[in-house]
Structure 1
Amino acid sequence: MRFNKKAITFSSNSINVAGFLNTPENTSKATPALVCVHPGSSCKDQTAGIYAEKFAELGYITIVFDASYQGESGGEPRYTEDPSARVEDVRSAVDYLTTLDVVDNERIGVLGVCAGGGYAANVAMTEKRIKAVGVVASANIGRLYREQNPIQTLEQIGEQRTAEANGADPLITQWIPNSQEEREQAGIDDIDIKEAIDYYKTSRGQSSNSPNKLKFTSMEKVLAFDAFHLADQLLTQPLQIVIGSVKGSFGSYSDGHELYEKAASADKDILVLDGVTHYDLYDQPEPVEKAVDKLETFYKQYL
């Protein structure tokens, strides 16, 4: 099915968020809609955008956007990763969808990739306008960073905040090594990091809206965030999880199983794709098609 792709903006906590609205052609009645949520360090032009377009081809109205403080969206300081803002962005995207006559407000779902999957699950706990939750290679970003000497990091953040309060320039660090050579020099040998570089730092997935920049002091917010906290009480919507069987340091395999076990959803399912890596599910045709097929069946049932 053909669709129209339109650049749009909406407000999230008074920040102008930039996104794309994908509307199937000849949509003239109330249509189901999906909010698509990108990974940490990513943007609307990458993997979440791929899923948004595939579901638009299947007849869904989809919205995908750059997180506040990132990409083409507004917000200062730049390159901030703030879980509370990320969750509010999703909620505000739902607000935007409800203003469209072609959207059926009772048939709005969410689809998140990697950390976007964690944010999608988290917002659904308190955003009951979301009727179905789909996550792909879902990762709990707070858990991931708490595995990397969090107390030392928090102490360094405190020192950096003091320095910046006294006139130092903001410290902008990076999410991943900028090249395989840089990774090797750092002594990192992990499939998720290797494939992250291949995805984000080459023509495969590179985007100017995803510059591999991260405001260091914003990590205090990430370290205190647990995407799955209270899922056993508040995550009640139908839930579909898709992960690959190949384990890497980002932990989407274990996080997917944790979310499945913890969610209070009466209707929930987990699909494990054998031999598939975290980044295969970002853009590789066969794994993505398998994920889309499973999610299409899911959304068709619950939206």
Structure 2
Amino acid sequence: MAAQLHLVLVPLLAQGHVLPMLDLAHLLAGHARVTVVLTSVNAARNSALLEHAARAGLALDFAELAFPGPAHGLREGTENLHMVLDPSLIVPFYQALWLLAEPLEAFLRSLPSLPDCLVADSMSPWTSPVARRLGVTRLVFHGFSAFSTLALYNLEKHGVYDRAADDYETFEVPDFPAHVVANRATAPGLYLGPGMDRFRRDMLEAEASADGEFLERYVAERGHKMWALGPLCAYYNKSSDAAAMAGRGSRADMDAERVVSWLDGHPPATVLYVNFGSVARLLPPQVAELAAALEASGRPFIWVLKETVGLVSRTGHCSSVGGRPR
């Protein structure tokens, strides 16, 4: 009998990257042994998923690496991008991420045998030299859609970002199947901004060296081997999987059953869902404007808020939103 495949998954430590990678791990664990490389904080906040996998008989586990954040000025326990509240610490956070290459390599060498494959986030190019030194096949996981992946690549390839006079000068996405106009403010690209040049360069060089044909021929003939997956959360299609899906990431302040019960009281496709993700933080005037627009729409809505919940109260919309689905 052939030995079970062992896949090691390395997500970028940001909620929008960790969660789909965990969904992928849950899916793959039905066919292979899967190890997800995290840090202690990220592993702890997703422990419910691991417990569910064990009950389901899935070969899924976590490997925890020590995160060197404090050495770069980050508070102890700041191990996910959404925890970085000070913009000046974003670059130090990525610097700490890049230092995970050595402990990752040490972990892989400590295994009884090297894994069959390393699946790394597209924004974690520091995994490329590790895989190359160990002779381990490395696959790149693009959490973005094919639309945005192709658009961002073409903008980089043709140097469009560098030629823009400022963040608001509009430009057309070149060599794109559809007519799309954007600017740096609405399509900021990856690793653009003060101090991010090194990470941007590393990402582009790693992708080009590991997957040159894919990058060069992606539009014309898609000649490189690719697998289209997603949305990965849709694979949680059994009632027994509901606990696994709910066990990913941070705990919500509102009871999930309450939200589901409220949704069940509305016809399909009638509720607006508003969520700017785990990193974006709205300014008070933006919160007020959006709150007013949602109220004026007359439509029932769910608005997912983080720290800005207090801003809603100060803008006078607390009575109408009330911290509940509206």
- TM above 0.5, one fold? no
Structure with higher Rg: it is 2
Q: Kindly indicate which of the two structures has a greater share of residues assigned to helix.
A: 2
Which structure's relative contact order is higher, taking Cα pairs within 8 Å and 6+ residues apart?
Answer: 1
Q: TM-score, normalised by structure 1?
A: 0.37
Q: Kindly indicate which of the two structures has a greater share of residues assigned to strand.
A: 1
